[in-house]
Amino acid sequence: MKKYLTFPNFMLAVGLLFLYIPIFSMVLYSFNNSRLVTVWDHANSPTLKWYAELFRNRAMLEAAWLSIRVAAMSASAAVVLGTLAGLVLARFGPFRGRALLQGLTTAPLVMPEVITGLSMLLLFVSLESVLAAFGIRFGRGILTITLAHITFTMAYVTVIVQSRLATFDDSLEEAALDLGARPAKVFFRITLPLIMPAILSGWLLAFTLSWDDVVVTQFVSGPGYNTLPMVVFSSVRRGVNPSVNALATLMVLVVAAGVVVSAVFMKRAEKKRERETRLAEAGL
Amino acid sequence: MSTRGTALDKPPGSGRVGPLWELFFRFGPPRWSEYIRRNWAGQRLVIAVPYLWLIVFFLVPFLIVLKISFAEFEPFGTPPYAPILRWLEDGAVQVKLLFGSYSYLLHEPLYVSAWLYSIKVALVSTLLCLLLAYPMAYAIARSSPTRRNVLLMLVILPFWTSFLLRVYAWIGLLKNDGVINNVLQWLGIIDEPVVMMNTSLAVYIGIVYSYLPFMILPLYANLEKHDLTLLEAAQDLGAGPVRSFLRITLPLSVPGVIAGSLLVFIPAVGEYVIPSLLGSSDQLMIAGLLSDEFNLNHDWPRACAVAIAMLLLLVGPMMIYQHFQNRELKVGRR
Amino acid sequence: MADKRNEKNKIEPWRDPHAKPYIQIDNITKKFGDFVAVNNVSLKIYQGEIFCLLGGSGCGKSTLLRMLAGFETPTAGGITLDGQDMAGIPPYERPVNMMFQSYALFPHMTVEKNVAFGLEQEGLTKAEIAARVSDMLERVKLGQFARRKPHQLSGGQRQRVALARSLVKRPKLLLLDEPLGALDRKLREHTQFELINIQEDLGVTFIVVTHDQEEAMTLASRIAVMNRGEIVQIGTPTEIYEFPTTKFVADFIGSVNMFEGRLIEDLPDRVRIQSGELGGVIFVDHGISSAPGITVWAAIRPEKIDIQRTPPADARENCVRGVVTEIAYMGDMSVYLVRIDSGKVVRVTLPNIERLSDDERIQWDETVYLSWHPGSPVIVTQ
CATH number at residue C261: 2.40.50.100
- Of A220, A248, A243, residue with least CA distance to A59: A243
Domain-located, residue C5 = no
Residue B60, pLDDT above cutoff 90: yes
For residues C82 and B5, the model is more confident at: C82
End position of a domain, from candidates B95, B118, B150: B95
Which residue blocks in chain C are alpha helix, DSSP H? Answer: 2-11, 61-69, 111-117, 126-139, 155-167, 185-202, 213-219, 237-242, 247-252
Residue A52 lies inside a defined structural domain of this protein? no
User: b vs e for C102-135, b when ≥16 Cβ sit within 10 Å of the residue's Cβ?
Assistant: ebbbbeebbbbbbbbbbbbbeeeeeeebeebbee
Within a domain: A86: yes
> Residue C328 pairs with which residues in a beta bridge?
C335
Question: Do B259 and B319 belong together in one domain?
Answer: yes
Same domain, B91 and B151: no
Residues C79 and C222 in one domain: yes
pTM (two decimals) = 0.81
Q: What range does the domain containing B213 cover?
A: 107-328
pLDDT of A98? 86
**Among B140-154, C228-242, C352-366, which is the least confidently predicted range?**
C352-366
**C202-to-C49, C197, C230 alpha-carbon distances in Å:** 12, 9, 31
pLDDT digits (tens, 9 = 90+) for C163-222: 999 999 989 999 999 998 888 888 888 888 888 888 888 889 999 999 988 889 989 999
- The pLDDT of residue B6 is above 50: no
Interface check for A193 against chain B (CB to CB < 8 A): the answer is no
Q: Is residue B7 over pLDDT 50?
A: no
What does DSSP assign to residue C21? P
Q: What is the mean pLDDT of chain A?
A: 88
The answer to whether residue A20 sits within a structural domain is no
Which pLDDT score is estimated for B11? 39
Residue C217 sits in the same domain as residue C71: yes
Q: Kindly state whether residues C218 and C70 are assigned to the same domain.
A: yes
Q: Are residues C98 and C205 in the same domain?
A: yes
Q: A237-241, A258-262, C244-248: which range is least confident on average?
A: A237-241
Residue A2: pLDDT band (50, 70, 90) is low
Domain tally, chain A = 1
Across A115-124, B324-333, C82-91, C349-358, least confident range: B324-333
Q: Are residues C200 and C278 in the same domain?
A: no
| B182 at A interface, C-beta within 8 A | yes
Q: Say if B334 falls within a structural domain.
A: no
Q: What percent of chain B has pLDDT over 90?
A: 29
CB B249 within 8 A of CB B239: no
pLDDT at position A135 = 80
Is B18 within a domain? yes
Are B256 and B320 part of one and the same domain? yes
Can you give the pLDDT at residue C2?
A: 47
Please state, for a pLDDT cut of 90, what percent of chain C lies above it. Answer: 43
Query: Is the omega angle on the peptide bond into residue B79 within 30 degrees of 0, that is, cis?
Result: yes
B102 assigned to some structural domain: no
Task: Tell me which of C75, C85, C92, C172 to substitute to probe the interface with B (most B C-beta atoms closer than 10 Å).
Answer: C85
Residues 163 through 192 of chain A touching chain B, CB cutoff 8 Å: 163, 166, 170, 182-184
Q: What is the pLDDT of residue B53?
A: 93
Query: Is B155 in contact with A184 (Cβ distance < 8 A)?
Result: no
Q: Which residue in B114, C381, C84, C346 sits closest to C368, CA to CA? A: C346
Domain annotation covers residue B67: yes
Number of domains in chain C: 2
Within this chain, do residues B172 and B258 fall inside the same structural domain, yes or no?
yes
Is residue C196 located within the same domain as residue C290?
Answer: no
The answer to the question of residue B100 being in a domain is no
Q: Is the pLDDT of residue B89 over 90?
A: no
Domains in chain B: how many in total? 2
Q: Is residue B265 part of a domain?
A: yes
Are residues C198 and C270 part of one domain? no
CB contact under 8 A, C123 and B14: yes
- B237 and B113 in a common domain: yes
- C87 in a structural domain: yes
pLDDT digit string, tens, across residues B192-220: 888 888 999 999 999 999 999 999 999 99
Nearest CA in chain C to A173: C104
Mean pLDDT of the residues in chain C = 87
pLDDT confidence bin for B86, thresholds 50/70/90: low
Residue A36 inside a domain? The answer is: no
pLDDT for B40 equals 47
Is A123 a domain residue?
yes
Would you call C93 an interface residue with chain B, using a CB distance cutoff of 8 Å?
A: yes
- B197, closest residue in chain A (CA to CA): A239
A116-to-A75, A200, A216, B270 alpha-carbon distances in Å: 18, 25, 7, 11
Q: What value does the mean pLDDT take over residues B153-164?
A: 88
C152 residue type, one letter = Q
Please answer yes or no on whether C104 and A169 come within 8 Å at the CB atom.
Answer: yes
**Structure ipTM over 0.90, yes or no:** no
pLDDT at site B31: 39
Q: What is the CATH number of the domain that holds A157?
A: 1.10.3720.10
What is the domain range of residue C317?
A: 256-380
Name the residue of chain B whose CA is nearest to A185's CA.
Answer: B41
Give residue B15's pLDDT: 39
pLDDT of B28 over the 50 cut: no
Domain for residue B333, yes or no?
A: no
* Closest C-alpha among C296, C265, C277 to residue C343: C277
**What is the pLDDT confidence band of residue B329, given thresholds at 50, 70 and 90?**
low
- pLDDT, mean of residues C29-56: 93
Chain B, chain C: beta-carbon pairs less than 8 Å apart = 22
Residue A28 lies in a domain: no
Which domain CATH number covers C76?
A: 3.40.50.300
What is the average per-residue pLDDT within A202-220?
A: 93
Instruction: State the average pLDDT over residues C151-167.
Output: 91
**Confidence at residue C210, expressed as pLDDT on a 0 to 100 scale:** 94
Q: What is the mean pLDDT of residues C116-125?
A: 88
Last residue of a domain, one of C217, C247, C277: C247
Judge if B54 and B183 occupy the same domain: no
pLDDT beyond 60 at B12: no
Q: Which of C88, C121, C123 sits opposite B7 (nearest CB)?
A: C88
Final residue of a structural domain among C247, C272, C288: C247
User: B263–A110: do the CB atoms touch at under 8 Å?
Assistant: yes
Same domain, C323 and C199: no
Per-residue model confidence as pLDDT tens digits over C289-303: 777 677 888 889 999
Mean pLDDT taken over chain B? 80
C236 and C275 inside one domain: no
- Radius of gyration of chain B measured on its C-alpha atoms: 29
Residue C6 placed within a domain: no
